[in-house]
Amino acid sequence: MQFADRLNNVETSAIRELFKLLGKPGIISFAGGFPDSAMFDVEGLREASARALQEEPGAALQYGATEGYEPLRTQLAAFERSKGVTDIEPQQLIVTTGSQQALDLIGKTLVNPGDKVIVEGPTFLATIQCFRLYGADVIPAPIDAQGVQVDKLEALIKEHKPKFVYLVPTFGNPSGALLTRERRLKVLELAVKYQTLIVEDDPYGDLYFGDAPPPSMLALSRDVPGSREWVAHCGSMSKVLSPGLRVGWLVAQPELLQRAVMCKQFSDAHTSTFAQATAAQYLKAGRMPATLKRVREVYAERARTMAVALKRELGDAIEFIEPQGGLFFWARLTGAGGKVKDANEFAKRAIEKGVAFVPGAPFFAKDPDLSTLRLSFATAGVEKIEEGLGRLGQAL
Amino acid sequence: MQFADRLNNVETSAIRELFKLLGKPGIISFAGGFPDSAMFDVEGLREASARALQEEPGAALQYGATEGYEPLRTQLAAFERSKGVTDIEPQQLIVTTGSQQALDLIGKTLVNPGDKVIVEGPTFLATIQCFRLYGADVIPAPIDAQGVQVDKLEALIKEHKPKFVYLVPTFGNPSGALLTRERRLKVLELAVKYQTLIVEDDPYGDLYFGDAPPPSMLALSRDVPGSREWVAHCGSMSKVLSPGLRVGWLVAQPELLQRAVMCKQFSDAHTSTFAQATAAQYLKAGRMPATLKRVREVYAERARTMAVALKRELGDAIEFIEPQGGLFFWARLTGAGGKVKDANEFAKRAIEKGVAFVPGAPFFAKDPDLSTLRLSFATAGVEKIEEGLGRLGQAL
């Protein structure tokens, strides 16, 4: 069978090979990119789905509008308003099947084979592959703990004239980095100056541990005249409520949104109305603030535990910035004292000691830093984190 | 903003313009392509979803495998076995976000810009657009009441060397046609002879009114040596259980399935595990046979009513074959007695009289027959069907 050429653009995931080893009994895993199942508000979701089937069974089980289920769009607009996007209306967003689909629709809608797309280096692995499937040439822009470096981003925009710039500004995956308010405003200015779309992927913004992070680029666009039409914002229920619902959303200017809807019509017709009606009822019931408070507290404690244990167990063989939110530590092996510096090699030794993480190389669209690695603190309790880090120390 | 060239391949839907008129109060609509909400087994689905959240909350709300939720794959394999696909195992199918996504994945996996794809003329509108978005040149093959005409299909395969042939063999949309067993076997022989993939879309196969239709091409592939690997079968829960769950499935040979999974990973990661767990519990509870029996009886009565009323009200101004299953009548205006022969004109007059249907032209990938139209009998009760056909008679 002759497959489409676009498949040649995608590499088999190096991570997938590693994940196969995770089935080993007794493994403590820091490899995942998902929230802790134990944190799901099962009772709240049970009530919400029962209410959806009680009050609106026809709508919850029938075909729905490709744009999304109206009561959910209303709730999501209110949710965004509560986070500082003061002027958003329901018709300015569409519901997507997870925010992964929003990325797919952006690729399908905008990317011609050979088009340049700028992402953070490192960035979310599935994004790189998603855009490459549409033929994008994915260019990484360097980051530090304050997110993408704006001067270098500007130089890359000038050089490559990208179709768009994809950023995870708040607690990036895998970097955990937080783009400062100042840089956000500068990026928005670049968007206007170069008439370049900024895709803001924001699945982690609600998971902050101390003070709230700066407002989303979508929210800040009100402070940079002309920038709103150059921001596409991807939101998600996956990290804070439940990934299994597969409810994300996309906010964008009307022309882009209309084409995304046309593409979605032929991608999956619409997102599960059953899941949408459940999410709408959940938000309407007002349970979200308490849920957010709870997950923030639990993840904050786990992140703190991991930071302390990493320093204690790996010392100067590793360097990292303690994240202020999200799910991830991003770290670099220093090779100090002749210790292992290659994260792939370290990952293999770690698996042997019964602990897993993800080497950083696959997160780079180009020129991988082989000494990097990603550790998630989300799914293991504090005791397991202590134990797992002890094992990591031995593996070193 | 500069959008991708692939969007230029898709026309704005003519149907969509018509659907805007459907909001008019008092309209009786035969225009839809969906099942009757009143037929949904709400109680069964409520129990199933409650059980999913009770017994497996972690799995039902967490990220899941891209291939699908294992208990659902097991149930779907059993469902296919009950319909004559005697040797199917769960790993031979993947769960898709509605069968629309299976079509999208087939396009993404197989179609290079300029590739030929053969479909029935007429066929499901969203399929034509879905494949065109990947750059397919869509070629229609002529059909009659027994489905695609095999000798003409063979000539087209020889001439165009298509990437695949897409068929809705059982109660086609919009045709209502039923491909005979003999023709199914011949198509399977063509698949082997020309090493050409046959995509069998089968959302309506369970909705038969009298005797069961011939087995699916997937089931019949056991009788044609070498043909199984040239059949991709798309199944759906949408027409018999609930479209809102967005649960479909794709059966195909391993190479194709593996690539479809890779593409799905970047399309939506996986289908809602909440919806999948609910569907799995529903099937496991054994409620499907009774549900199928009920919907068959109701739709059979509505189809019969429509056939009688069409003959009585429109006489020799219309010709059609009474469907033996599915949701649709496909009809042709004859122009007898100087009556209207253009279905677009007829649709406008009908709307004025308070009744809607869909003109047939958009269902043709090329060379539309402007005298054709599609009427769905699924969503109106028998009294509304009588009343609506009375109005159609006046519109004529």
Q: What DSSP string runs through A149-215? A: -HHHHHHHHHHH--SEEEE--BS-TTT--B--HHHHHHHHHHHHHHT-EEEEE-SSTT-BSSSPPPP
pLDDT, tens digit (0-9, with 9 covering 90-100), for A308-326: 999 999 999 999 999 999 9
Residue B20: its pLDDT value, please? 65
**Whether residue B169 sits in one domain with residue B144:** yes
What band does A15 get if pLDDT is binned at 50, 70 and 90? low
Q: What is the pLDDT of residue B168?
A: 98
Which of B246, B262, B271 to probe the A interface (max A CBs under 10 A)? B246
Mean pLDDT (chain A) is: 95
Q: Note whether B244 contacts A62, CB cutoff 8 Å.
A: yes
Interchain pair A245, B270: CB under 8 A: no
pLDDT of residue A10: 87
**Cα(A340)–Cα(A344) distance, rounded to whole angstroms?**
10
* Residue B374, CA distances (Å) to B42, B118, B266, B330 in order: 29, 21, 36, 5
Alpha-carbon gap: A362 to the closest alpha carbon of chain B (Å) = 15
Beta carbons of B110 and A269 less than 8 Å apart:
no
CB atoms A244 and B50 under 8 Å = no
CA distance B259 to chain A (A): 8
B355-358: Cβ within 8 A, 24+ apart = B355/B27, B355/B28, B355/B29, B355/B30, B355/B388, B355/B389, B355/B391, B355/B392, B355/B395, B356/B18, B356/B21, B356/B22, B356/B27, B356/B28, B356/B29, B356/B30, B356/B31, B357/B30, B357/B31, B357/B392, B358/B15, B358/B18, B358/B31, B358/B174
Same domain as B251, residue B130:
yes
A19 & A166 share domain:
no
Q: Are residues A344 and A200 in the same domain?
A: no
Residues A169 and A309 in one domain: no
ipTM over 0.90: yes
Judge if A267 and A131 occupy the same domain: yes
Q: Do A126 and B269 touch (CB under 8 A)?
A: yes
Q: Is B61 in contact with A266 (Cβ distance < 8 A)? A: no
Report CB contact under 8 Å: B101, A129.
no
Would the CB atoms of B98 and A269 count as touching at under 8 Å? yes
Question: What is the per-residue DSSP string for A78-91?
Answer: HHHHHTT-TT--GG
For B98, name the nearest residue in chain A, comparing CA atoms only: A268
Question: How many CA atoms within 13 Å lie on the side-chain side of A203?
Answer: 26
Same domain, B146 and B259: yes
In our burial notation (b when 16+ CB lie closer than 10 A, e otherwise), range A182-203 reads: ebbbbbbbbbbeeebbbbbbbb
Please report residues of B whose CB lies closer than 8 A to that of A240.
none
Q: Assess whether pLDDT exceeds 70 at residue A40.
A: yes
* Tokens read off for A140: 């990484």
With a pLDDT cut of 70, the percent of chain A lying above it is: 97
CB contact under 8 A, A110 and B259: no
Query: Which of B67, B259, B267, B281 should we substitute to test contact with A (largest number of A Cβ atoms within 10 Å)?
Result: B267
Return d(Cα B372, Cα B376) in angstroms, integer. Answer: 14
Number of domains in chain A: 2
Distances (CA, A) of A159 to A116, A139, A155, A275, B312: 10, 11, 6, 43, 71
- Read off the pLDDT band of A24 (50, 70, 90): confident
User: Which of A138, A274, A281 would you mutate first to test chain B, the one with the most B CBs within 10 A?
Assistant: A274
Query: CB-CB: which of B3, B271, B278 is closest to A110?
Result: B3
**pLDDT tens-digit series, residues B235-282:** 999 999 999 999 999 999 999 999 999 999 999 999 999 999 999 999
List the single residue in B with minimal CA-CA distance to A99.
B268
Q: Which of A50, A265, A274 sits opposite B275 (nearest CB)?
A: A274
A&B contacts, CB < 8 Å: 220
Are residues A38 and B58, on separate chains, in Cβ contact within 8 Å?
Answer: yes
Asked whether the beta carbons of residue B256 and residue A1 sit closer than 8 angstroms, the reply is yes
User: In terms of domains, do A345 and A273 share one?
Assistant: no
State which residues form the domain around B137.
Answer: 42-287
Collect all residues of chain A within an 8 Å Cβ-Cβ radius of residue B61.
37, 40, 42, 45, 242-245
Residue A254: give its domain's CATH number: 3.40.640.10
Min Cα distance B362 → chain A (Å) is 15
Mean per-residue pLDDT, A104-112: 98
Q: How confident is the model at residue A11 (pLDDT cuts 50, 70, 90)?
A: confident
Distance (Å, rounded) from C-alpha B201 to C-alpha B210?
21
Q: Is A133 in contact with B255 (Cβ distance < 8 A)? A: no
Strand order in the sheet with A328-333: A318-320, A328-333, A372-376, A358-359
Q: Sort strands A137-144 and A116-121 into parallel, antiparallel or unpaired.
A: parallel
Domain boundary among B242, B259, B287: B287
For residues B244 and A270, is the Cβ–Cβ distance under 8 A?
A: no
- The CA distance from A62 to the nearest CA of chain B, in Å, is 5
Q: Which residue of A has its CA nearest to B273?
A: A244
Q: What is the CATH number of the domain that holds B10?
A: 3.90.1150.10
Which residue from B54, B58, B266 is facing A126, i.e. has the nearest CB? B266
Using a CB-CB distance cutoff of 8 angstroms, which residues of chain B are in contact with residue A273? 243-244, 246
A277 and A158 fall within a common domain: yes
A355 Cβ partners below 8 Å, 6+ apart? Answer: A27, A28, A29, A30, A388, A389, A391, A392, A395
Distances, alpha carbon A118 to alpha carbons A44, A114, A193, B35, B345, in Å: 39, 13, 16, 44, 50
Q: What mean pLDDT comes out for the span A79-98?
A: 97
Give dist(CA A10, CA B262) in Å, integer.
Answer: 9
Alpha-carbon dihedral angle through residues A269, B12, B171, B370, given to the nearest 10 degrees:
170
Residue B93 CA neighbour count, 13 Å, CB half: 31
Closest CA to A19 of A10, A31, A33, A37: A31
Tell me, yes or no, whether B22 and B58 share the same domain. no
Residues A37, B57: C-beta atoms closer than 8 Å: yes
Q: Is the CB of A100 less than 8 angstroms away from the CB of B266?
A: yes
Task: Point out the domain boundary residue: B222, B253, B287.
Answer: B287
Statement: residue A5 has pLDDT above 90: yes
Contact criterion met (CB < 8 Å) for B104 and A62: no
Residues of chain B predicted below pLDDT 70: 12-23
Both B328 and B270 in one domain: the answer is no
> Of B259, B287, B315, which marks where a domain is finished?
B287
DSSP bridge pairs for A78: none
* Short-list B98, B238, B64, B101, CA closest to A246: B64
State phi, psi for B265 to the nearest 5 degrees.
-55, -35
What pairs with residue B118 in β-bridges? B139, B165
Residue among A3, A37, A110 whose CB faces B62 most closely: A37
HEC profile for A302-340? Answer: HHHHHHHHHHHHHHHHEEECCCCECCEEEEEECCHHHCC
User: Same structural domain for residues B274 and B340?
Assistant: no
pLDDT of residue B92: 98
